[in-house]
Structure 1
Amino acid sequence: MKVYMVGNAHLDPVWLWRWPEGAIEAAKTCLTALELLEKHEGFVFTRGETWVHRWFERAYPEEFERVKEFVRKKRWAVVNGWIVQPDMNLPHGECFVRQSLYGKKYFREKFGMEPEIAYCVDSFGHAGTLPQILKKCGYRAFVFMRPHPHEKPLPQTFRWRSADGSEVLAFRLVTNYETFDIEKLKRNIEETLKSAIPDLPATMCFYGVGDHGGGPTKEQIEFIEKNRNYRDGVTLLFGSPLHFFDEIEPHRDKLPVVEGDLHPHAVGCYSVNLELKKLNRKAEGELLQGEALASMSSLAGNYEYPHDDFEALWEDLLMNGFHDILGGTTTKEGFEDFKKYIGGILRGIDEIKTDAALNVLRKLKPGEKEIAFVLFNPTGRHRTEYAEFEPWMNWRPYENGVLIGPDGEVPFSYVRPTSLVRNMTRILFRADVPPFGYSLYRFREGKRKSFEGLLYGDNRVENEFLMLSLEDNGELRVHFKREGIELKGEDFQFPLILSDGSDTWGHGVYSFEGKRNPVRVRRIEFVEKSELRATILRESVSEFSLIKEFISIYFGEPYLRTRFLIDYHDRLTVLKLSYRFPFRLKNIHAEMPYGFSVREPDGMESPTGRLLLVETERSWLGFASDAVHAYDAIDGEVRLTAARCVPFAWHVPYELQPDAEYDYIDEGLREFELLFWAFGERKGDELRFSDILNSPLIAMSSLKGDGSLPDRRSFLEVKPSPNVRVEVLMKGAGGEYILRSFETLGKTGEISVLGRTFEVKPHELKTLVIRDTEVFESDTCF
Structure 2
Amino acid sequence: MHDDRVHVERRIRRILNERLRPAVHGERAPLDLEFWPAPGEPVTLEEALAATYVKAAPGQEWGPPWGTTWFHLTGTVPSAWSGREVEAVVDLGFSITGPGFSAEGLVLRPDGTAVKALNPESIWVPITKSSTGNGDVDLYVEAASNPDIMREGFGTPHGVGTPLGDIETAGRAPGYRVRRVELAVFEREIWELVMDVEVLDQLMHELSTDDPRRWKILRALETAVDAIDLRDVTGTTAAARKALEPALAAPAVASAHRVSAVGHAHIDTAWLWPLRETVRKVARTAANVTQLMDDHPDLVFAMSSAQQWAWMKEHHPAIWERMKEKVATGQFVPVGGMWVESDTNLPGSEALARQFVHGKRFFLEELGIETQEVWLPDSFGYTAALPQLVKLSGSQWFLTQKMSWNQVNKFPHHTFWWEGLDGTRVLTHLPPVDTYNSVLSGRELAHTVRNYTEKGVANRSLVPFGYGDGGGGPTREMIGRAARLADLEGSARVGVESPQDFFVKALEDHPAPEVWAGEMYLEIHRGTYTTHHATKAGNRRSEHLLREAELWSATATVRTGAEYPSERLDAIWKQVLTHQFHDILPGSSIAWVHRLAKTTYAEIAAELEQIVADAQRALAGDENASGVVTFNAAPHARDGVVAGGAGIPSEPSQPAVLEHTEAGTVLDNGLIRVVIDERGLLTSVVDAATGREAVAEGRVANLLQLHQDLPYEWDAWDVDRSYTHTVTDITGVDSLRSRVLEDASVQVEVVRTFGASRVTQLLTLAPGSRRLDVETEVDWQECEKFLKAAFPLDLRADVSSAEIQFGYVQRATTSNTTWEREQFEIPAHRYLHVGEPDYGVAVVNDSTYGHDVSRTVRADGGTTTTVRLSLLRAPRFPDPQTDLGIQRLRYALVPGADLLDATREGHWINLPARSVPGDHPVAPLVEIDHPGVVLSALKLADDGSGDLVVRVHEALGARRRTALRVDAEYSSWTVTDLLERPLDDPGPALEQAEESGVFTVSLRPFQILTLRLRRS
Runs of 5+ consecutive residues of structure 2 not aligned to the other structure: 1-256, 645-652, 815-822, 856-864, 966-996
Corresponding position of 1:154:
412
How big is the shift at 1:372? 8.0
How big is the shift at 1:51? 2.3
Corresponding position of 1:744:
955
1:670-699 C-alpha deviation (Å, 9 max, x unpaired):
1111121112644x3532212322122225
The 3-state SS of whatever aligns with 2:403 is: coil
Corresponding position of 2:846:
626
Say whether the 8 Å CA contact 2:619–2:916 is kept in structure 1: no
Name the aligned partner's letter for residue 792 of structure 2: R
How big is the shift at 1:9? 0.8
Corresponding position of 2:636:
381
How big is the shift at 1:541? 2.6
Say whether the 8 Å CA contact 1:510–1:604 is kept in structure 2: yes
> In the alignment, is residue 262 of structure 1 matched against residue 505 of structure 2?
no
> In the alignment, is residue 284 of structure 1 matched against residue 543 of structure 2?
yes
CA distance in 1, matches of 2:708, 2:620: 53
Residues 664-743 of structure 1 correspond to what in structure 2 (within 5 A)? 664-679=881-896, 681-682=898-899, 684=900, 686-699=902-915, 701-702=917-918, 711-732=920-941, 733-743=944-954
Name the aligned partner's letter for residue 655 of structure 2: G
> In the alignment, is residue 611 of structure 1 matched against residue 831 of structure 2?
yes
> In the alignment, is residue 758 of structure 1 matched against residue 1001 of structure 2?
yes
Corresponding position of 2:266:
10
Say whether the 8 Å CA contact 2:401–2:436 is kept in structure 1: no
Q: Measured at CA, do residues 252 and 361 of structure 1 come closer, stay the same or move farther in structure 2, by a change above 3 Å? A: farther
Corresponding position of 1:348:
607
CA distance in 1, matches of 2:782, 2:321: 54
The 3-state SS of whatever aligns with 1:323 is: coil
Say whether the 8 Å CA contact 1:10–1:211 is kept in structure 2: yes
Say whether the 8 Å CA contact 2:614–2:623 is kept in structure 1: no
CA distance in 1, matches of 2:654, 2:467: 70
Corresponding position of 1:235:
493
Corresponding position of 1:484:
692
> In the alignment, is residue 638 of structure 1 matched against residue 880 of structure 2?
no
| More displaced 10-residue stretch of structure 1: 480-489 or 66-75 | 480-489
Q: Measured at CA, do residues 100 and 457 of structure 1 come closer, stay the same or move farther in structure 2, by a change above 3 Å? A: closer
How big is the shift at 1:220? 0.8
Name the aligned partner's letter for residue 958 of structure 2: K
Residues 159-170 of structure 1 correspond to what in structure 2 (within 5 A)? 159-170=417-428
Among 458, 470, 473, the alignment partner of 1:215 is 473
Corresponding position of 1:402:
none
Say whether the 8 Å CA contact 2:761–2:777 is kept in structure 1: yes
Among 371, 379, 388, the alignment partner of 1:115 is 371
1:161-216 C-alpha deviation (Å, 9 max, x unpaired):
0131101111113345455756xx22221222223323224211121111111011
CA distance in 1, matches of 2:624, 2:592: 49
1:81-112 C-alpha deviation (Å, 9 max, x unpaired):
32211111100121122122122222122211
Corresponding position of 2:707:
498
CA distance in 1, matches of 2:289, 2:300: 9
Q: Measured at CA, do residues 525 and 772 of structure 1 come closer, stay the same or move farther in structure 2, by a change above 3 Å? A: same
How big is the shift at 1:380? 4.2
The 3-state SS of whatever aligns with 1:230 is: coil
Corresponding position of 1:173:
431
Name the aligned partner's letter for residue 146 of structure 1: K
Q: Measured at CA, do residues 365 and 374 of structure 1 come closer, stay the same or move farther in structure 2, by a change above 3 Å? A: farther
Among 643, 655, 659, the alignment partner of 1:453 is 655
How big is the shift at 1:62? 3.7
| More displaced 10-residue stretch of structure 1: 340-349 or 495-504 | 340-349
How big is the shift at 1:510? 4.9
Say whether the 8 Å CA contact 1:379–1:726 is kept in structure 2: no
> In the alignment, is residue 435 of structure 1 matched against residue 642 of structure 2?
yes
Name the aligned partner's letter for residue 294 of structure 1: S
Name the aligned partner's letter for residue 496 of structure 2: F
Say whether the 8 Å CA contact 2:640–2:915 is kept in structure 1: no
Among 751, 756, 768, the alignment partner of 1:556 is 768
Corresponding position of 2:207:
none
How big is the shift at 1:10? 1.3
Say whether the 8 Å CA contact 2:654–2:670 is kept in structure 1: no
Corresponding position of 2:326:
70
The 3-state SS of whatever aligns with 2:360 is: helix
Q: Measured at CA, do residues 159 and 466 of structure 1 come closer, stay the same or move farther in structure 2, by a change above 3 Å? A: same
CA distance in 1, matches of 2:279, 2:577: 16
Name the aligned partner's letter for residue 471 of structure 2: G
Residues 262-341 of structure 1 correspond to what in structure 2 (within 5 A)? 262-264=520-522, 265-341=524-600
CA distance in 1, matches of 2:316, 2:776: 50
How big is the shift at 1:713? 2.8
Say whether the 8 Å CA contact 2:844–2:902 is kept in structure 1: no
Greater strand proportion:
1
CA distance in 2, matches of 1:452, 1:14: 51
Residues 414-425 of structure 1 correspond to what in structure 2 (within 5 A)? none
Name the aligned partner's letter for residue 254 of structure 1: A
Q: Measured at CA, do residues 489 and 26 of structure 1 come closer, stay the same or move farther in structure 2, by a change above 3 Å? A: farther
Residues 123-162 of structure 1 correspond to what in structure 2 (within 5 A)? 123-148=379-404, 150-151=406-407, 152=409, 153-162=411-420
Q: Measured at CA, do residues 478 and 538 of structure 1 come closer, stay the same or move farther in structure 2, by a change above 3 Å? A: farther
Corresponding position of 1:587:
799
Say whether the 8 Å CA contact 2:826–2:850 is kept in structure 1: yes
CA distance in 1, matches of 2:703, 2:465: 49
1:545-593 C-alpha deviation (Å, 9 max, x unpaired):
2222211112221110111111222211100000112332221111112
The 3-state SS of whatever aligns with 2:404 is: coil
Runs of 5+ consecutive residues of structure 1 not aligned to the other structure: 384-431, 438-450, 651-662, 703-709, 774-782
Query: For the pair shown, which has the larger CA radius of gyration, 1 or 2?
Result: 2
The 3-state SS of whatever aligns with 2:281 is: helix
The 3-state SS of whatever aligns with 1:122 is: coil
The 3-state SS of whatever aligns with 1:596 is: strand
How big is the shift at 1:43? 1.3
Corresponding position of 2:66:
none
How big is the shift at 1:472? 7.3
TM-score, normalised relative to structure 2: 0.64
CA distance in 1, matches of 2:898, 2:306: 45
Say whether the 8 Å CA contact 2:377–2:436 is kept in structure 1: no
Say whether the 8 Å CA contact 1:476–1:489 is kept in structure 2: no
Say whether the 8 Å CA contact 1:45–1:240 is kept in structure 2: yes
How big is the shift at 1:314? 0.3
Name the aligned partner's letter for residue 559 of structure 2: A
Say whether the 8 Å CA contact 2:632–2:915 is kept in structure 1: no
The 3-state SS of whatever aligns with 2:607 is: helix
1:309-346 C-alpha deviation (Å, 9 max, x unpaired):
11111001101111100010011111111112212222
Say whether the 8 Å CA contact 2:616–2:917 is kept in structure 1: no
Q: Measured at CA, do residues 576 and 672 of structure 1 come closer, stay the same or move farther in structure 2, by a change above 3 Å? A: same
> In the alignment, is residue 91 of structure 1 matched against residue 91 of structure 2?
no
Say whether the 8 Å CA contact 1:116–1:138 is kept in structure 2: yes
CA distance in 2, matches of 1:358, 1:760: 36
> In the alignment, is residue 515 of structure 1 matched against residue 726 of structure 2?
yes
Say whether the 8 Å CA contact 1:380–1:718 is kept in structure 2: no
Q: Measured at CA, do residues 501 and 63 of structure 1 come closer, stay the same or move farther in structure 2, by a change above 3 Å? A: closer
CA distance in 2, matches of 1:531, 1:357: 24
Q: Which has the higher contact order (CA 8 A, sep 6+)?
A: 1
